[in-house]
């Protein structure tokens, strides 16, 4: 479907035309019409499917068409991390280039000047507020903020926010909002806790579910069967003799993250930890150092399995098998980005064998088995290494493709803007 087949405002369509975007992704095609109808929506879609544009474009259209008080806050977009809030803010700027609206991004880790800008935006009634829950709540506790004009409340990556312990903060914010509003929720997964929150804050939501993409072919997926006690030595083996720059180790528990980080540092490996208990400033510093190549190995929980923009990660190691197949896809999707190749190795203990088999069934393929190095001792006997007859071992495609935008056809009806040299932004983000 083409964007100009949807009931988007002319100003929004003009911005899309300027950026050479003409066709919708599946989540945009299914979600935008429902949002434009004013219904509550809960959409299950992973990062990279175009979910950000799926709510920004109809939101900007509604602000362009609807009557709203220009001196009050009209829309709140919640994001789990500073990084995602920044990305949303950037997308808003591009898609709303021709729409007369104001916005302010509210997140931690800024200097005093940024804090003042945030306060001013909230008190003077920016049309759109993009915020992390903790920072918005901090502002609410200090200043008298008028939420009476809020007509749109959007939760992006809601599952991550709940995983990070933001449920109470979100509910406190919701209780300050008008009852008559449109609530839109995007989540990569749909666990029971998300459905429970949806029932608490939404009215008869329309559910849109986009199938989780399979990992791209450029990721070389491998697994090794071993005992839990053999995992540290296996990690050392995997890291030996290779360029250590930008390796991610995914670990299931925060305490294990801390322990493994110390163990790697004791072996003179430049490793840093990333988990939810860290202060925002410390998390920002770790991620900045990792992006800049100052940290070789990032040991992390699933807090970074989605929503980080680091294109040149050559290796992802699943120290623990994720319980959910979708989490596996998100984890290994940190490598082989921007047309690069990458490797993903999963360490499978006997206790986790059944979860790994669920992942293979989801992927509809057998993941390559690596032998345990002799120096590490004997591997446990496991059905992981027996014949797995009857499986479809073909590789699953990632189900996503980018359209060739900017050509003639439907979008040719959009009026051209001469002299526009703004950088293109990706509506698939």
- 327: nearest Cα among 342, 346, 299, 311: 346
Query: Which ranges of 270-352 would DSSP assign to H, the alpha helix?
Result: 280-291, 325-332
Residues 6+ apart with CB under 8 A from 361: 325, 391
pLDDT for position 283: 79
Full set of structural domains in the chain with CATH = 3-212+401-413 (3.40.50.300), 219-385 (3.40.50.300)
Token pair 């914010």 in the structure block, residue: 173
Model pLDDT for residues 266-310, shown as the tens digit of each residue? 988 889 998 877 777 787 788 888 888 888 899 988 777 665 666
Examine the pLDDT at 14 and tell me if it is beyond 90: yes
pLDDT for position 412: 41
What does the mean pLDDT of the chain come to? 81
Model pLDDT for residues 363-398, shown as the tens digit of each residue? 888 999 999 999 999 988 765 654 343 343 333 333
CB 155 within 8 A of CB 161: yes
pLDDT for position 12: 93
The residues pairing with 349 across neighbouring beta strands, listed in sequence order, are: none
- 373: nearest Cα among 240, 250, 262: 240
pLDDT for position 275: 82
| Cα–Cα dist 212/364, whole Å | 13
Examine the pLDDT at 326 and tell me if it is beyond 50: yes
| Cα–Cα dist 419/64, whole Å | 24
At 202, the pLDDT band (50, 70, 90 cuts) reads very high
pTM of the shown model: 0.61
């Amino acid at each position: 479907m083409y964007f100009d087949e949807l009931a988007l405002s002319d100003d929004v369509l003009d911005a899309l035309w300027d950026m050479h975007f003409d066709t919708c992704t599946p989540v945009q095609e299914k979600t935008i019409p429902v949002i434009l109808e004013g219904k509550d929506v809960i959409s299950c879609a992973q990062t990279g499917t175009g979910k950000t544009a799926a709510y920004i474009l109809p939101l900007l259209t509604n602000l362009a068409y609807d009557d709203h008080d220009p001196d009050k806050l009209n829309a709140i977009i919640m994001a789990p991390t500073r990084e995602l809030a920044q990305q949303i803010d950037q997308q808003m700027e591009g898609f709303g280039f021709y729409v007369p609206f104001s916005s302010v991004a509210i997140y931690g880790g800024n200097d005093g000047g940024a804090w003042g800008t945030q306060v001013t935006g909230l008190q003077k009634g920016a049309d759109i507020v993009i915020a992390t829950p903790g920072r918005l709540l901090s502002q609410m506790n200090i200043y008298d903020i008028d939420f009476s004009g809020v007509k749109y409340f959007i939760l992006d990556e809601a599952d991550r926010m709940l995983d990070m312990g933001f449920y109470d903060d979100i509910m406190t914010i919701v209780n300050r909002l008008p009852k008559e509003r449109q609530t839109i929720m995007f989540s990569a997964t749909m666990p029971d806790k998300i459905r429970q929150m949806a029932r608490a804050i939404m009215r008869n939501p329309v559910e849109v579910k986009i199938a989780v993409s399979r990992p791209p072919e450029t990721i070389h997926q491998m697994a090794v069967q071993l005992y839990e006690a053999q995992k540290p030595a296996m990690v050392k083996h995997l890291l030996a003799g290779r360029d250590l720059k930008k390796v991610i180790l995914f670990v299931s528990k925060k305490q294990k993250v801390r322990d493994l980080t110390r163990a790697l540092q004791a072996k003179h490996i430049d490793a840093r930890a990333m988990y939810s208990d860290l202060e925002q400033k410390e998390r920002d510093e770790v991620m900045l150092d990792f992006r800049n190549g100052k940290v070789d190995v990032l040991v992390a929980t699933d807090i970074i399995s989605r929503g980080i923009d680091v294109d040149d990660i050559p290796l992802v190691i699943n120290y623990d098998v994720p319980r959910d197949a979708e989490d596996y896809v998100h984890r290994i999707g940190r490598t082989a980005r921007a047309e690069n190749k990458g490797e993903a190795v999963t360490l499978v203990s006997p206790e986790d064998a059944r979860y790994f088999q669920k992942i293979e069934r989801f992927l509809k393929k057998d993941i390559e088995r690596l032998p345990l190095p002799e120096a590490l001792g004997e591997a446990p006997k496991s059905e992981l290494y027996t014949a797995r007859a009857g499986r479809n071992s073909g590789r699953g495609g990632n189900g996503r493709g980018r359209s060739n935008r900017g050509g003639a056809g439907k979008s040719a009806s959009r009026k051209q803007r001469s002299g526009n040299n703004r950088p293109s932004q990706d509506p698939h983000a």
